[in-house]
Amino acid sequence: MFDRSRRNLLSRRRTPALQRMPWVVDEDTFVDRCTRCSKCIDACETQIIVKGDGGFPTVDFTRGECTFCTRCADACPEALFHPTSEQPWGLKAQISQNCLAHHKIECRSCGDMCEVQAIRFKLQAGGVALPELDLDACTGCGACLSVCPASAITMVTKELEEK
């Protein structure tokens, strides 16, 4: 029988390919009102906004990080962004078991990139230091994702983390 709780979990997961820009309104409203004019894409200072499914703009963290510069929101002619004084989004980084440190290979690339020091390394007896994520400190900027040599980092919504 189909596992409803699993379906709910999967449907709530937001993969990077579907991730909208910070401060964006709910998905239904966004898809309804976005004219796909690409003004946010042109405005993004780190060029992480790309045309996704159906030509709708999405954030691709494999291209870099969000600096929360607000240019996408400022450039949008439609009422599609919440005020940028509010929390940008509920995104958080998530580190999987693919992390090299879990396989006894020294790596601290993600921690080096994290401006707010949300990733700290804890020494293990007889092993290499493992990354530990401070979810309260993580802003969901995505700076750690593209530098991970093991593709062990994904960006997920807070709801998923809380499950």
66: exposed, middle or buried (Cβ count in 10 Å: 0-12, 13-18, 19+):
buried
Least Å distance, CB 107 to ligand SF4, is 3
- Closest to ligand SF4 by CB, 5 vs 97, is 97
Among 146, 152, 154, 156, binds ligand SF4 (CB under 6 A): 152
Measured CA to CA, the distance from residue 10 to residue 18 in angstroms comes to 13
Q: Any contact of residue 24 with ligand SF4 (CB under 6 A)? A: no
* C-alpha closest to that of 20 among 40, 46, 45: 40
Least Å distance, CB 163 to ligand SF4, is 19
6: exposed, middle or buried (Cβ count in 10 Å: 0-12, 13-18, 19+):
exposed
CA angle 135, 103, 9 (to 5 degrees): 45
Q: Any contact of residue 22 with ligand SF4 (CB under 6 A)? A: yes
Beta strand 91-95 pairing with 119-122: unpaired
Q: Any contact of residue 21 with ligand SF4 (CB under 6 A)? A: yes
Q: Any contact of residue 70 with ligand SF4 (CB under 6 A)? A: yes
Q: Any contact of residue 76 with ligand SF4 (CB under 6 A)? A: no
- Closest to ligand SF4 by CB, 34 vs 43, is 43
- Closest to ligand SF4 by CB, 1 vs 123, is 123
- Considering all CA atoms of the chain, what is the largest pairwise distance in Å, rounded to the nearest integer? 56
Q: Any contact of residue 142 with ligand SF4 (CB under 6 A)? A: yes
Q: Cα–Cα distances in Å, from 158 out to 42, 153, 161?
A: 28, 15, 5
Binding site for ligand SF4 (CB under 6 A): 21-22, 43-46, 48-49, 59, 66-72, 93, 95, 99-101, 107-110, 113-114, 116, 118-119, 131, 133, 138-144, 148-150, 152-153
